Amino acid sequence: MTLKIKNLSKTYPNGVKALDNLTLEIKQGMFGLLGPNGAGKSSLMRTLATLQNPDEGSVFFEDIDVIKNPMDLRKVLGYLPQEFGVYPKMSAVDLLDYLATLKGIASKKERNALINQVLEITNLYDVRKKSVDGYSGGMKQRFGIAQLLLNNPKLIIVDEPTAGLDPAERNRFLNVLREIASSNIIIFSTHIVDDIKDLCNDMAIMNGGKILKKIKPSEATKEIEYKIWTSTVERENLEEMEQRFVVLSSKYNQDNSINIRVYANEQPTSNFVTVQPGLEDVYFIALKDNIEN
């Protein structure tokens, strides 16, 4: 099972180039799409979910031409948009029943079984009779997962689902995602590096409508091992450091000094010590390279 994206381009009427000749191949499993705000993640996801057409390029899921036959894809697609709402005053069960009928499940018995199943998976069974517009942010996101599971999708697209969730809810949500990942492709976009580290077996870093780097999270940090250095500097020296070295990130300490992480092949100065690289470093290196080029 593969999703093949080839030379995808999209320019919005206001001149923003959201997708820039993007080529990507996604295989079975969890795929993380990492990028800053405005990188084109949502544009890519909306295109894959048949909500908008690209100017150029092609998308194939197995042998379905997504651009030409969106209806065929929709039958095997589960999509959770970045923001969504529901009709007011409708309980989860009623809404899911309607949505399941729309997804083409005609028999009432089959629908009920399916709805109970997805409510169990998403831990919403106890609140199934409450109206969905009164749910908390995390519960609503889980409801979003429940609705996308209704047609046993082969391609699942979730667009920044963890934005705005508290840590406990975020964990619960990621566990639900982990549970449903089996024999399908799940594309998961986020700007939170930890989400990907915990979850995905393949990832890509995206900015400016392009894929900057496609790599497995487990291998990503090996490449830059012994190349990440850290040191504590005073606030006044930060600018000088940024000019002299590739500073990936800087964090304030409580006493107003700054911890910086630097990417270099050799020890920059004797003050620096080497540290274990994280996925965040990989992300910042990719973004830095992109800006310099």
Partner 1 sequence: MVFTILKFELKYWLRNWSFCAYLATFFLMALLSMAGASGTFGEGSASATNIANSPMSIYNFVNFFNKILLFLLPAIVGHTIYKDYKNNFNSILYTYPFSKTNYLFAKFISAFIIVSIIAFL
Are the C-beta atoms of 259 and 230 separated by less than 8 Å? yes
Q: Among 43, 47, 50, 162, which residue interacts with partner 1 (rule: CB under 8 A)?
A: 50
Q: Which of 63, 83, 236, 255 binds partner 1 (CB under 8 A)?
A: 83
The residue among 1, 9, 161 whose CA lies nearest residue 76 is 1
- H helix intervals, the chain: 41-48, 70-74, 92-102, 108-121, 137-148, 167-180, 193-199, 217-223, 238-244, 279-292
By CB under 8 A, name the one of 16, 102, 113, 275 that touches partner 1. Answer: 102
The nearest distance, CB 156 to partner 1, in angstroms, is 11
Q: Does 113 bind partner 1 (CB under 8 A)?
A: no
x/- binding map, residues 222-261, to partner 1, per CB under 8 A?
Answer: ----------------------------------------
Token pair for 28: 């079975």
Query: What single string gives the DSSP state of each residue in 174-213?
Result: HHHHHHH-SSSEEEEEES-HHHHHHH-SEEEEEETTEEEE
Question: Which member of 41, 74, 128, 154 binds partner 1 (CB under 8 A)?
Answer: 74
Stated as kind and residue range, the H or E segment containing 255 is none
Is 63 one of the binding residues for partner 1 (CB under 8 A)? Answer: no
213 binds partner 1 (CB under 8 A): no
* DSSP-derived pairing of the beta strands 185-190 and 29-34: parallel
**Cβ neighbours of residue 220 closer than 8 Å, sequence gap 6 or more:** 203, 279, 282
Indicate the residue among 10 and 103 with the shorter CB distance to partner 1. 103
Stretch that binds partner 1, among 14-22, 49-57, 261-269, 282-290 (CB under 8 A): 49-57
99 binds partner 1 (CB under 8 A): yes
Q: Given the complex with partner 1, which of 15 and 85 has the nearer CB atom?
A: 85
Using DSSP, state whether 103 is helix, strand or coil: coil
Residue 122 in the binding site for partner 1 (CB under 8 A): no
Q: How many Å is the maximal CA-CA distance in the chain?
A: 72
| CB nearer to partner 1: pick between 13 and 85 | 85
Q: For binding to partner 1 (CB under 8 A), which residues are involved? A: 49-51, 71, 74-75, 77, 79-81, 83-88, 98-99, 101-104, 133, 144, 147, 151
